Amino acid sequence: MSTELTTFITTLLATPPSAPGSIQLEIDTDGVTGLYEVLLTIMTESLKSWYPPPIQLSALTEVDHAKLAAYFASFGYVFKLEITEVPRVFRPANRDYLTQSRLPDMKFQMTNGGQLYTASFDYYRGG
């Protein structure tokens, strides 16, 4: 992780979430794939700062989920975390995002406590 990204995350989490679109994220990325990876890193590092390792997503409270979504909105993105039961036959394909060209179509899946967590992002459009 770059020093620039580490500084951004530390600064972001040092205060409560700001108003949507009030923080400018200026990170050089390699297109939408690089942006997606940066957003995943921000999600992971944020969770690591709130929960002891290893992160147990089943411990994620609705309050912290809302807070994480508010942080993402503050720098112009929507954070979505869908929670469903793990299918009987499941094999995560977390590299599939490399075949996508649109941010909202990129997904990352994790399992914990019998639940399937699917993280995705989109551009914040207000509202």
pLDDT in tens, 66-87: 999 999 999 999 999 999 998 8
∠ CA 97-48-73, nearest 5°, is 60
- Summarize pLDDT for 3-46 with one digit per residue, the tens: 888 999 999 999 999 999 999 988 788 899 999 999 999 999 99
What is this structure's pTM?
A: 0.90
